[in-house]
Chain A
Amino acid sequence: MSARRRGWITVVAALAVTVLAGACSNQATSGENSGANTALPSSCKQSKPVLGVALPNTVNPYYVAMRQSFIDNAAKSGLEVKVAIANDSDSNQLSQINGFIQQGVCAVALNAVNSGPGAASVAALNQAGIPVFSVNVIISPDDLKTQNARVVQYVGADQPEGGKAMGEQLLKDTGANAKIVAGIVGDPDQIPTNQRDQGFTEALRANPEAKVGPTVNSKVDPNVSLQVTTDMLQGNPDINVVFADTGPGTVGALQAISQLGKTGKVTLYGFCAANQPLDATYRACAAQEPADYARIVVENVQKHLGGGQVPATILQPLKIFTSGVPAPGEVG
């Protein structure tokens, strides 16, 4: 290769590197934040703006109720809804969010699969200038900060209060100084369920005779809950209270207590299972109202699109049941 040709290649390569370097950008490090921009996407000027709704799954009755409410309330508000179901995969959800961006939706209601990874979806939407309303699963504030992203609003249940209410109900039922050994049927991988467990544990501190024992992972699946609750009760015969922090977890835990012949010896407190009546074993439950959260989100999206101010956080109290059957849509 001649010296002249080598020189040309060097110049072209240097130019290419310069152009590529100049074209590089990263929202997390550049300080840009379209989410802070109050300007709405042009698609919001359409006669029927599109609201993208991203949900983790629809095998949990909780999300079925939420999806239906989004559809119903958006129709009343003159919005079109596009629902994306992530099948509990963070990467699926991010792809679906990118799909919403390509389709030019006006706003997105995001129920993230997981609290941390959800920040990437928020950042992508911020970059496209699409306002994000997070619902049910709070997006990790640290991850939002790291990615220089923000949501317009969070709507969800007051999770620690739900757990605390169950703990207080337990103390009320058993008396202030009763000997309590509680096992938790939880989902230790999720922030909201851990918050419920913390609330429950804190409430029991009022009784010096109460002890919170092991936590098993029900994976929000009744079948897994049945298995792990059975194991937990076999390994810890002194447990006399089970706290199940999700509706599907409650279904399995209830069956485990019954099938081990521990009815009358172990009581269950938890987040409400769909269509499950309360009785002498299943003493109390806390219900979220996913349909209500969806309604609130739609109302606030509409307000935001109209130029109004919306509160950054709306925490809804949980509904406590000690008898009867929670109505459809009132689930944990």
Chain B
Amino acid sequence: MRLPDETGIFLVLVVVLVVLSILSPSFATVSNGMSLLLNGAVIAFLALGQTFVLLTGGIDLSTGANVAMTGVLAAVLMAADIPWPIAALLAVGAGLLLGVINGLLIHYVKVPPFIVTFSTQGIAIAVPLIITGANSISVRQPGFSWIGQGRMAGIPLPVVMLIVAAVVATWFLTRTRWGVHIYASGGNRAAARLAGVNLSTITVLAYAVSGVCGGIAGLIATSRLMVGFPATGLGNELFFSIAAAVVGGVSLFGGTGAVPGAMIGAVLIAAVSNGMNVLNVSSYWQSLVIGLIILLGVSFDTYRRGLSGRSVLSALTSASGRAPKETAAPVGSVPESR
């Protein structure tokens, strides 16, 4: 029986959680678990969007800046007395627009995703600075706090939103034609085109999803603080979103990976960050530990690609020299759950 690709990283997460729980009784509490997931929600949303983009063989560097732009935009709209639900929708719409622009430029102008999204990152960073003159904007509509601070059956609303989004995204990628086309376009772009995949729609769709996820992340961050801060999302968010997806098995080279893996990656990074703060580990060491985990994850990904689609666990069990029984799918490797 072949285990899911995410088994390895899931076991790593379990080990990390067990070790942290042993080291600190405060870590293994329901309350801390909720804080951990809540703190990781922004990164996880970004990783979810990044997964769609990475699966097409692209990358979205504008996603952290999208958080800053949409968060400040929502705060500015609310300051102009626009009701918060409409302001929130408009802000997510701005994130969607940024994603669509990314996709259109990448497909039609043929500029590499790295350059396009790096450029739009600069634009998205500048927009809130220009709008606010670099000042933070306080949110005065209490209802808006519901997005980031509300709870549903005791679970923080951002976590509920994330679970719903992850389930829908998994269904979309594994059960719909467009989802299969996303894998195909990242696995072998030329073959996908010859097979009739509409690459323009798929590219724009993937970046649009990333844009929407960035917008929702911006709302969560701003709602938790109730302040639109022009630098929110410009720290480690971009780096961690890519790292979460890659550590979770989404290939930087496209066509391989799945949403559950990226979510496990995001929870792993959130758990390590939370655990080190709970254990009072000096901040000087925290980057080192997270860096090592990411390095291990990427090495794992590279090794796995070298196995031509076989799972790492099966490769380890057949290390005695048995021939591989599985081969890579011709256009992308869609998870077995399909």
Residues of chain A having any CB pair with chain B under 8 Å: 57-61, 63-64, 188-189, 213-217, 219, 221-224, 226-228, 230-232, 234-237, 248, 251-252, 255, 259-260, 274-275
Determine how close the nearest CB of chain B comes to the CB of A291; give it in whole angstroms.
14
10 contacts across the A-B interface (CB closer than 8 A): A57-B231, A59-B229, A60-B231, A188-B282, A227-B39, A227-B273, A232-B278, A234-B31, A235-B32, A251-B227
Determine how close the nearest CB of chain B comes to the CB of A48; give it in whole angstroms.
25
**Are the CB atoms of A224 and B129 closer together than 8 Å?**
no
- Give the 7 A-B CB pairs with smallest separation, nearest first: A235-B278, A231-B277, A217-B283, A214-B280, A59-B231, A58-B134, A234-B32
B42, B129, B232, B280: the one within 8 Å of A221 (CB): B232
B149 interfacial contact with A, CB 8 Å: yes
B225 interfacial contact with A, CB 8 Å: yes
B24, B26, B134, B138: the one within 8 Å of A64 (CB): B134
Task: Give residues of chain B (267-299) contacting chain A, Cβ–Cβ below 8 Å.
Answer: 273-274, 277-280, 282-284, 286
Contacts of B32 in A (CB 8 A): 234-235
Q: How far is the CA of A237 from the CA of B221 in the complex (A)?
A: 25
Determine how close the nearest CB of chain B comes to the CB of A28; give it in whole angstroms.
28
**Are the CB atoms of A221 and B136 closer together than 8 Å?**
no
Determine how close the nearest CB of chain A comes to the CB of B40; give it in whole angstroms.
9
Given known contacts A223-B232, A226-B224, is B35 in contact with A274 (CB within 8 Å)? Answer: no
B133, B278, B282: the one within 8 Å of A234 (CB): B278
Q: How far is the CA of A216 from the CA of B277 in the complex (A)?
A: 7
Q: How far is the CA of A59 from the CA of B132 in the complex (A)?
A: 10
Q: Besides A61-B136, A274-B135, 11 other CB < 8 A contacts?
A: A59-B234, A60-B231, A64-B134, A188-B284, A221-B229, A224-B235, A231-B273, A232-B280, A234-B274, A259-B149, A275-B138
B226's closest neighbor in chain A, by CB? A255
Given known contacts A58-B134, A59-B134, A232-B277, is B31 in contact with A252 (CB within 8 Å)? Answer: no
B284's closest neighbor in chain A, by CB? A188
Contacts of B280 in A (CB 8 A): 213-214, 232, 235-236
B29 interfacial contact with A, CB 8 Å: yes
B186 interfacial contact with A, CB 8 Å: no
Contacts of A275 in B (CB 8 A): 136, 138
**Are the CB atoms of A230 and B39 closer together than 8 Å?**
yes
B283's closest neighbor in chain A, by CB? A217
Q: How far is the CA of A236 from the CA of B280 in the complex (A)?
A: 9
A328's closest neighbor in chain B, by CB? B135
Determine how close the nearest CB of chain A comes to the CB of B195; give it in whole angstroms.
43
- Which of B138, B227, B230 has its CB near the most chain A CB atoms (within 10 A)? B227
A65's closest neighbor in chain B, by CB? B135
Q: How far is the CA of A203 from the CA of B202 in the complex (A)?
A: 61
Contacts of B274 in A (CB 8 A): 231, 234
Q: How far is the CA of A60 from the CA of B229 in the complex (A)?
A: 9
Contacts of B221 in A (CB 8 A): 223
B27, B224, B230, B284: the one within 8 Å of A259 (CB): B224
Determine how close the nearest CB of chain B comes to the CB of A262; give it in whole angstroms.
11
Q: How far is the CA of A219 from the CA of B273 in the complex (A)?
A: 14
Contacts of A188 in B (CB 8 A): 282-284
B277's closest neighbor in chain A, by CB? A231
Q: How far is the CA of A71 from the CA of B31 in the complex (A)?
A: 49
Determine how close the nearest CB of chain B comes to the CB of A66; give it in whole angstroms.
11
**Are the CB atoms of A236 and B136 closer together than 8 Å?**
no
Contacts of A234 in B (CB 8 A): 26-27, 29, 31-32, 35, 274, 278
Contacts of B224 in A (CB 8 A): 223, 226, 255, 259
**Are the CB atoms of A58 and B136 closer together than 8 Å?**
no
Q: How far is the CA of A224 from the CA of B134 in the complex (A)?
A: 18
Determine how close the nearest CB of chain A comes to the CB of B132; give it in whole angstroms.
9
Determine how close the nearest CB of chain A comes to the CB of B19; give it in whole angstroms.
15
Q: How far is the CA of A221 from the CA of B133 in the complex (A)?
A: 17
Determine how close the nearest CB of chain B comes to the CB of A207; give it in whole angstroms.
22
Q: How far is the CA of A219 from the CA of B284 in the complex (A)?
A: 12
B58 interfacial contact with A, CB 8 Å: no
Determine how close the nearest CB of chain A comes to the CB of B36; give it in whole angstroms.
8
- Which of B39, B42, B221, B279 has its CB near the most chain A CB atoms (within 10 A)? B39
Contacts of A237 in B (CB 8 A): 26
A87's closest neighbor in chain B, by CB? B125
Contacts of A221 in B (CB 8 A): 229, 231-232, 235
B35, B38, B135: the one within 8 Å of A61 (CB): B135
B214 interfacial contact with A, CB 8 Å: no
**Are the CB atoms of A248 and B27 closer together than 8 Å?**
no
Q: How far is the CA of A213 from the CA of B277 in the complex (A)?
A: 12
B232's closest neighbor in chain A, by CB? A223
- Which of A235, A248, A252 has its CB near the most chain B CB atoms (within 10 A)? A235
B248 interfacial contact with A, CB 8 Å: no
Task: Give residues of chain B (94-152) contacting chain A, Cβ–Cβ below 8 Å.
Answer: 129, 133-136, 138, 149
Q: How far is the CA of A219 from the CA of B287 in the complex (A)?
A: 13
A188's closest neighbor in chain B, by CB? B283
Contacts of A214 in B (CB 8 A): 277, 280
B287's closest neighbor in chain A, by CB? A217
Task: Give residues of chain B (1-55) contacting chain A, Cβ–Cβ below 8 Å.
Answer: 24, 26-27, 29, 31-32, 35, 38-39, 42
B233 interfacial contact with A, CB 8 Å: yes
Q: How far is the CA of A237 from the CA of B35 in the complex (A)?
A: 14
Q: How far is the CA of A227 from the CA of B156 in the complex (A)?
A: 14
Q: How far is the CA of A214 from the CA of B26 in the complex (A)?
A: 14
**Are the CB atoms of B229 and A248 closer together than 8 Å?**
yes
Q: How far is the CA of A214 from the CA of B39 in the complex (A)?
A: 19
Given known contacts A231-B277, A235-B280, A236-B26, is B229 in contact with A222 (CB within 8 Å)? Answer: yes
Contacts of B283 in A (CB 8 A): 188-189, 215-217
**Are the CB atoms of B225 and A59 closer together than 8 Å?**
no
Determine how close the nearest CB of chain A comes to the CB of B32; give it in whole angstroms.
4
Given known contacts A188-B284, A223-B225, A235-B24, is B233 in contact with A274 (CB within 8 Å)? Answer: no
Q: How far is the CA of A221 from the CA of B230 in the complex (A)?
A: 10
A231's closest neighbor in chain B, by CB? B277
Contacts of A222 in B (CB 8 A): 136, 225, 227, 229, 232
